[in-house]
Structure 1
Amino acid sequence: MSSGRRARRLKNEINMVPFIDVMLVLLIIFMVSAPLLPTGVVDLPSVGQARQTPQQVIELVVESEGAVRIRVNQRDVETTTMENMVAQVQALQAQSPGGAEGSPVIISARKDLRYDTVMQVMDRLNRAGVPRVGLSVRPTGG
């Protein structure tokens, strides 16, 4: 009763040929289309030149959690608390030759001080509406 038919065995292996064909087609498409794509231009901020240097620069040196030393044109004026700092900065800006807009405020801090304290100083100045507040940076030697 052998009818000449053989029982078909299933193959338990993955046929990789169609997968390789699809990958090669995709590779060719990406190789052809990649040079045609426009490159993205990122506008990075640059350091601009000021029209004129300010006549008065107020520097706030954060000494500790509650003490701030106020310096005007690199000369120490006084040491104050965080609560009185904003009023004194506004008074110094009002006395400056350019008015409140003329004197920038720069915040400096010790390296070992928590950054949260610096952020509190910036927040107090921002809430009081003090314009032109920046952070002091020290250039790294290369």
Structure 2
Amino acid sequence: MKGMGMMPEQRRKPMSEINVVPYIDVMLVLLIIFMVTAPMMTQGVKVDLPETTSDPIQAEKNVESVIVSVDANGAYYVEVGDEGSDPMSLADVRERITKILSQRSSSEILVRGDEYVDYGTVVRLMAELQGAGASSIGLITESPREEK
């Protein structure tokens, strides 16, 4: 008696399916790596530029705006509420904004640049404001005048 008490041998059929689970794991790891590294690859100053045809933004209540102005000569001024300042250097602006943000972190930082000031001057100012801890910087513009 052949095979008595033993299980008969079964032949395995070849699998015709591909196991995709390891590929999914690799793709998820790559996705996480790209999600972490993508923000590090962008450089520059984050700015939400207003459109000239948009409606004015309503100021939040209980939030005092800090306005940093740059005149046509490249001089900087810091205005907190109704209090203005004398012309100051870029380092003094950063120090003053750092002090203001340490006292009240909910302040809005707005930049008012003269139409004829050099673009690089405004960009350096915004970089210093970001370095001082300003997370959101707005630009003040005027609506275009209608010519008759």
RMSD over aligned Cα, in angstroms? Answer: 2.6
Give the conservation status (yes or no) of the 8 Å contact 1:54–1:103: no
In structure 2, list runs of 5 or more residues that go unmatched.
Answer: 1-50
Instruction: List per-residue Cα deviations over 1:12-46 (Å, max 9, x = no partner).
Output: xxxxxxxxxxxxxxxxxxxxxxxxxxxxxxxxx98
**Residue matched to 2:79:** 71
**Residue matched to 1:110:** 114
Q: Read off the aligned partner of 1:69 and give its amino acid letter.
A: Y
Instruction: List per-residue Cα deviations over 1:37-58 (Å, max 9, x = no partner).
Output: xxxxxxxx98696583343111
Instruction: Work out the CA distance in 1 between the residues paired with 2:123 and 2:109.
Output: 14
Instruction: Work out the CA distance in 1 between the residues paired with 2:83 and 2:119.
Output: 24
**Residue matched to 1:60:** 68
Please identify runs of 4+ aligned residues in structure 1 that moved more than 4 A: 45-51
Instruction: List per-residue Cα deviations over 1:101-123 (Å, max 9, x = no partner).
Output: x1111111111111110011011
Give the conservation status (yes or no) of the 8 Å contact 2:101–2:133: no
- 1:74 to 1:111, Cα distance in 2 relative to 1, 3 A: farther
- 1:77 to 1:54, Cα distance in 2 relative to 1, 3 A: farther
SS in 2 for 1:60: strand
Query: Do structure 1's residue 129 and structure 2's residue 123 form an aligned pair?
Result: no
Instruction: Work out the CA distance in 2 between the residues paired with 1:116 and 1:50.
Output: 29
Q: Read off the aligned partner of 2:96 and give its amino acid letter.
A: Q
Q: Read off the aligned partner of 2:108 and give its amino acid letter.
A: P
**Which one has more relative contact order, counting CA pairs under 8 Å at least 6 apart?**
2
Q: Read off the aligned partner of 1:56 and give its amino acid letter.
A: E
- 1:82 to 1:103, Cα distance in 2 relative to 1, 3 A: same
- 1:106 to 1:80, Cα distance in 2 relative to 1, 3 A: same
Query: Do structure 1's residue 81 and structure 2's residue 86 form an aligned pair?
Result: no
Shift of 1:72: 1.1
**Identical counterparts, % of pairs:** 16
**108-117 or 51-60: which moved more?**
51-60
**Residue matched to 1:94:** 102
The structure in which a higher percent of residues are strand is: 1
SS in 2 for 1:75: coil
Q: Read off the aligned partner of 1:87 and give its amino acid letter.
A: E
The number of aligned residues is 93
Please list, as runs of the form range in 1=range in 2, the aligned pairs for 1:16-27 lying within 5 A after superposition. none
Give the conservation status (yes or no) of the 8 Å contact 1:68–1:82: yes
